[in-house]
A and B are shown apart, each in its own frame.
Chain A
């Protein structure tokens, strides 16, 4: 990723930094100046890339290892246990039965996560499936999207799911019977109230942090973000201790939740947090959320609004208040990442950023629009003029691409969904992301999405002008994301003087079929010179 030296065979590391990148011929000169180096050939047949940077994820990803993984792909738990991918609903049920048979406290709710119905097209999971696991305690299976959960009849009865008029959040079959799927916020609320467990509690414990880092590490990530955290007083201290530990395998950038305090107090709190910055932990940015989600019909869309005629979505903050916050942070020199999904919201966010910049000019503010999924070429041109960057939610193309074509936007507007090609063509600084745990955290998968623009239903979104090349996608998950976090001087490329953050891959992404990009195995990572290997990868 260093344009002066795009390919090399050897890399030397000293004191957590890159001493040099080159060939076998450089070893002597490195040793002459710096003393003997240990020669490690373990990765001689591997491909080394700059460590991946996940510019929009959430620490909550780390919380789920308290529950049981039932996803489609093999996944290594934070303790090194490999959880094999489950390839059918029957396999998921069998796994849950095995867990129920062996766990100690059989009356407590049994919660599993990572279930992804996208892979099971013949039928959907239902309450009877989970009744076969247990009938006298709650059995809950969280979908990977975190917008749906399956439950057994124990939960349905407690929630009175069969009785009331609740079609919005309980899926029903053709005969009008509830199937056991709880949908959306209200569905989750019902399931949580009846089981008494808070499935989505604020994740903040050091264990959660370590779990999160390990999940990210397995996918080649060396720097990740917790892209919104209210950081209550004193919470930075345990966080700093956890992240600074040598065996903590990742750098972490925490975005302060801007509206958790009044603008002036929020500025003061961010400045206070920045005193706790270290090599591995950064409180450099602020997050503001301006609208909802497209698939939840809570994003703000420009006319003609939603394709299926649903009413326009929600503002999550008054535009006037957004402006107040942007002004305060811009004045104080604090970079803001604004969540905008719909195109109306993107436009209003740009209006407000412009308003803030007219009051407080700042040449390199680098305020960034996060998700920004429906931006038009006109929006990208304006972002370029204003110096605003974008971090697109490319994983959406796969997970919700079909829904956007058929339900939310229609094919014409869905063609420009997460238009990475458009952003680059208009000269906008680009990163791409997973929003984990909303979708799977795996930068190579995110890159695959941006390169191929393939939906889970097998449809290609757009006409080719929106796709980016593999090189451009790799740049987006390294230097692109580093730039969006103002860390491009430290990480994002392999060159002398930068931090020794490396992703170790089983294959060269530039040599495999673009459609195989997501299948490249991640052998491990190096973070600041420390190697972290995945179990059982080749």
Chain B
């Protein structure tokens, strides 16, 4: 009997009012057949669309699209035990952490449980309240820890902030966490593939499905074919896009065989793949990313960018 692959764990962190619930709700509507179990702090705050709810019992809400939500109450350990006793086990676990949680401590569960792996910590930064939070006499350390633990920083409430303020915030976060990608999340509208699949844990299994979902999030989406160049060359090309590309994946081939190429959480990685390589590649990025024609040109030719 082979051991089942560990279940990816994503942690959504961020202060009270930073948009964690909106993000979670938006992710749940994009689950698209994946069995996601979401752990939320309390149900009261999670205004799940009524039409998504299939049944409610105890501290669980079953959703029509295959998701289950459990409330954490005061006891995360108990919630984890209960979730890991579900049959079948979920495909992905998302925790909406409390506004004052330290996500790295929650990630400890994935570190000790061989059936879990940390997929990523997503920290929402409220653009309108950043200055207040960063200087709060009782919460500033907590705020910083949430940013320090992140594998993806999502700036929320950008619509309530001016361009100058946003630029300053982006620069500040860039200084604090230069290696971590940033994106904006207005009303939680971020593609599920930007948020899940960060593969913070290097030992992640290959993901063979290209990203799906509508891209109506202020982000751009490119899908195309990549020429069978040596992987080192492809990686070099992808690196030039890194400041603006948030997520990329595809199954490619070179002389060494088929492999999966990922860009997630700011990191590029490859894994050998046992199967046919389509050469199909998908990138989700910010609007600053080169346009489709430029990307087509970059990846279909041998020339360096």
Contact = CB atoms under 8 A, between A and B. Distances in A.
Interface of A: 160, 164, 166, 168-169, 185-186, 188-190, 192-193, 198, 200-202, 228, 230, 232, 257, 259-262, 265, 289, 300, 311-312, 314-321, 344, 348
B77 A318 contact: no
Contact of A232 (B15, B58, B109, B141): B58
A200 B77 contact: yes
24 contacts: A188-B77, A189-B77, A189-B80, A189-B81, A189-B112, A189-B113, A198-B78, A202-B78, A232-B58, A232-B59, A259-B42, A259-B73, A261-B44, A262-B42, A262-B44, A312-B141, A315-B142, A316-B98, A316-B100, A317-B98, A317-B100, A318-B16, A319-B139, A321-B16
A316 B142 CA distance: 12
A190 B113 contact: yes
Contacts of B101: 314
> B100, B113, B139: which has the most chain A beta carbons within 10 Å?
B100
Contacts of B142: 314-315
A230 B81 contact: no
Nearest to A159: B112
Contact of A185 (B44, B77, B99): B77
B45 interface: yes
Contacts of B15: 318
Given A315-B139, A319-B138, A344-B138, A259 B74 contact: yes
A186 B109 contact: yes
Given A186-B108, A189-B109, A289-B74, A311 B141 contact: yes
Contact of B112 (A166, A198, A202, A320): A166
Given A193-B84, A202-B78, A314-B101, 7 more contacts: A160-B114, A189-B112, A232-B58, A232-B59, A257-B73, A311-B145, A317-B100
A46 B24 CA distance: 63
A169 B44 contact: no
B102 interface: yes
Contacts of A261: 42, 44
B74 A228 contact: yes
Interface residues of B, number: 33
Contacts of B98: 316-318
A192 B139 CA distance: 33
B121 to A, nearest CB: 16
Contact of B105 (A257, A312, A314): A314
Nearest to B45: A262
A186 B101 CA distance: 16
A289 B138 CA distance: 16
Contacts of B115: 193
B112 A186 contact: yes
Contacts of B84: 193
A118 B102 CA distance: 32
Contact of A193 (B45, B58, B78, B113): B113
A243 to B, nearest CB: 23
A315 B73 contact: no
B301 to A, nearest CB: 45
- The 8 nearest A-B residue pairs measured at CB: A262-B44, A315-B100, A318-B99, A318-B16, A190-B112, A186-B112, A318-B100, A186-B108
A200 B78 CA distance: 8
B100 A314 contact: yes
Nearest to A230: B73
A228 to B, nearest CB: 7
A382 to B, nearest CB: 17
A111 B114 CA distance: 23
Nearest to A320: B16
> B15, B59, B113: which has the most chain A beta carbons within 10 Å?
B113
A265 B141 contact: no
Contacts of B42: 259-262
A192 B45 CA distance: 30
A314 B145 CA distance: 11
B16 A193 contact: no
A311 B148 CA distance: 14
Contacts of A164: 111-112
Nearest to B145: A311
Contacts of B44: 261-262, 265
A317 B112 CA distance: 25
A288 to B, nearest CB: 10
Nearest to B84: A193
Nearest to A312: B141
Contacts of B108: 168, 186
Interface string B1-37: 0000000000000011000000000000000000000
Contacts of A348: 138
Given A189-B80, A262-B42, A316 B74 contact: yes
Contacts of B80: 189
Contacts of B71: 260
Nearest to A302: B138
Interface string B151-191: 00000000000000000000000000000000000000000
Contacts of A318: 15-16, 98-100
Nearest to B141: A312
Nearest to A233: B58
Interface string B48-68: 000000000011000000000
A232 B115 CA distance: 30
Contacts of B139: 315, 319
A463 B29 CA distance: 62
A289 B72 CA distance: 14
Contacts of A316: 74, 98, 100
Interface string B260-300: 00000000000000000000000000000000000000000
B105 A300 contact: no
A185 B109 CA distance: 9
